[in-house]
Chains A and B, each alone.
Chain A
Amino acid sequence: MIEVNNLHKSFGDNHVLKGISTTFEKGKTNLIIGQSGSGKTVFLKSLLGIFEPDEGTISFDGKIYSELEENEKRELRTELGMVFQGSALFDSMTVEENVMFPLKMFSNQSKSEMADRVDFVLKRVNLLDAEKRYPSEISGGMQKRVAIARAIVMNPKYLFCDEPNSGLDPKTAILIDNLIQEITDEYQIITVINSHDMNSVMEIGEKIVFLKDGIKAWEGTNKEIFKTDNEAVTDFVYSSNLFKKVRQAYIDEN
């Protein structure tokens, strides 16, 4: 379990995170939603250790990150997988080399063992013919799948995704969402996703944390979000007429 307790983060006079507390459980896809500038990315980057919190703690299965020794932090980082918004694949490496990179860096496996593992995860994300191609030679959706393969190649306990389906067409976005949910369920990992996409919220949001101006304004599941009276959430989630109608239909039906 990831436990976040009273997390504060400021940049100069800009107080971005104002005391966020929440938990993320094993085998669930957790979504962080909120308007641009609400602190989602800072929150995710704080979870990843890229930003050091000014106050509060983040613990991974009982281990408080800020209290760990440097080598323990490094060890913990090998248990984290991250899918960046722009995929963040290494331009100078092929798809295969990108996925193999964490193995080369942190495992003591032989070349054939590493190649087998890369083959396995590329099959898992349905990318079989692209292994010798460079990131610039494949589509955005394929790049996201390579990023997911790279994130899971070390069998992480925790998977973080920053807007994994931004810039993708709706069909590919659903494929990526489903893939993340399947992997979370299959490997029983803790997945935390930053998202703007309301389809993702409705489809895979087993737990949703809504941030507004650096404060946790609401949390619940994708079922509960239909019924909530929290105005900030409904304003954000049901900002389009289509979603307003979907919500009304759901309420009428239930």
Chain B
Amino acid sequence: MIIIKVIVIILLLSIQFLDDKPYFYPMIYIENLGRYFAMLRKVFSKPVKWLILKDLILKEMNDLINNSLGIVAFISFFVGGVVTIQTALNIDNPFIPKYLIGFATRQSIILEFAPTFVSIIMAGKVGSFITSSIGTMRVTEQIDALDVMGVNSLNYLVFPKIVAMSLYPFLIAIGMFLGILGGWTAGVVGGLTSSEAFTTGLQMDFKTYHIAYAFIKTVVFSFVLATVPAFYGYYMKGGALEVGRASTTAFVWTSIVIIVLNFILTQLILG
């Protein structure tokens, strides 16, 4: 309990330096948390016509998932390679078997890199896209136009993003595969380990439960990635400059929420 209290205090104190406000505003954070959950309630109420939602979901799948494939593949492949190189170069002792390089790569990529760090990268890419697109609609009164027509603007704008992000685990699965492939390529082509040793390491002490843990995290993060940036875009006030500020704030808070949830989920599932 003491450890948790200390962590919460450190977190609350550090948050003030991450945000662009100079000092601690606990009431604002609590108010925003309440508004976030009130927003979620509205997102799932009064749905718009399925005919319209269907098209929006397909469009969001293309914008959020399909358009992120390239960056996830690129980063995963090269980070997998770097993990392998660093692990190999840190094994000086001849008594440590080479297959541990494959084992360490697998564990790093599956448990942490693919689900968590790719999500932080996605908070920058997808998150800022969501905040700026919804924020621009707010600034140009397009959201007011939806409200005046009697459309549930939160359902129209946010729900398709949540549904589209349900494909996010597939993106992470591709990231896992390419991360390990990158590790294998760097290890084998770079002469740091043999293909057999690397593959033995990959298969060693394999627990399917770790995959389940990674995907449970991924599903939770996908919801955060769709909703936290949408919250900052939807409730922003001001003009073009504020859209930029909202995107930055959304990135900071999405990252914080992902890191905190990563800690809590790891403690709950693996602890």
User: B-contacting residues of A (Cβ < 8 Å)?
Assistant: 45, 48-50, 73-75, 77-78, 80, 82, 84-86, 88-92, 101-102, 104-106
Cβ–Cβ contact A85 & B51, under 8 A: no
User: Which A residue sits closest to B45, measured CB to CB?
Assistant: A70
Q: Does B1 reach chain A (CB closer than 8 Å)?
A: no
Q: Are B140 and A106 in contact (CB under 8 A)?
A: no
- For window 139-154 of chain B, which residues contact chain A by CB distance below 8 Å? 140-142, 144-145, 147-151
Question: Given A104-B49, A105-B48, is A77 in contact with B150 using a C-beta cutoff of 8 Å?
Answer: yes
Which residue in A75, A77, A86, A91 is a CB contact (below 8 Å) of B149? A77
Q: Could you tell me if A105 and B151 are in contact, using CB atoms closer than 8 angstroms?
A: yes
Q: Among the listed B49, B52, B59, B141, which residue makes an inter-chain contact with A85, where contact means beta carbons less than 8 Å apart? A: B141
| 17 A-B pairs with C-beta separation under 8 A | A45-B144, A48-B148, A49-B148, A73-B150, A75-B150, A77-B148, A77-B149, A80-B149, A85-B141, A86-B140, A90-B145, A91-B142, A92-B59, A101-B149, A104-B49, A105-B49, A105-B151
Provided the pairs A77-B149, A102-B149, A105-B151 are in contact, do residues A88 and B141 lie with their beta carbons within 8 angstroms? yes
Residue of B nearest to A160 (CB): B148
Contact A84 B51 (CB under 8 A): no
B51 contacts A78, C-beta separation under 8 Å? no
Known A-B contacts A48-B148, A77-B148, A82-B148; the reply to A104 vs B142 at CB < 8 A is no
Question: Given the complex, which residues of B lie within 8 Å of A90, measured CB to CB?
Answer: 142, 145
- Tell me, rounded to whole Å, the shortest Cβ–Cβ distance linking A161 to chain B: 12
A86 vs B142: C-alpha distance in the bound complex, in angstroms? Answer: 9
Q: Name the 7 nearest CB pairs between A and B, nearest first.
A: A77-B150, A88-B141, A88-B145, A84-B141, A82-B148, A74-B150, A88-B142
The residue of chain B having its C-beta at the shortest distance from the C-beta of A48 within the complex is B148
In the complex, A140 Cα to B48 Cα: how many Å? 30
Q: In angstroms, how far is the closest chain A Cβ from the Cβ of B141?
A: 4
Render B116-152 as a binary contact track against A, CB cut-off 8 A, 1 for contact: 0000000000000000000010001110110111110
Q: Are B144 and A88 in touch, CB under 8 angstroms?
A: yes
Could you tell me the distance between the alpha carbons of A75 and B150 in the complex, rounded to whole angstroms? 8
What are the residues of chain B within 8 A of A50 when measuring CB–CB? 144, 147-148
Contacts of B140 in A (CB 8 A): 86, 88, 91
A89 to B136, CA, bound (A): 12
A162: nearest chain-B partner, CB-CB: B141
A223 to chain B, nearest CB (A): 32
> 19 other contacts beyond A50-B144, A105-B149, with CB at 8 A cut-off?
A49-B148, A50-B147, A50-B148, A77-B148, A77-B150, A80-B148, A82-B149, A84-B144, A84-B145, A85-B141, A88-B141, A88-B142, A89-B142, A91-B142, A102-B149, A104-B51, A105-B49, A105-B151, A106-B150
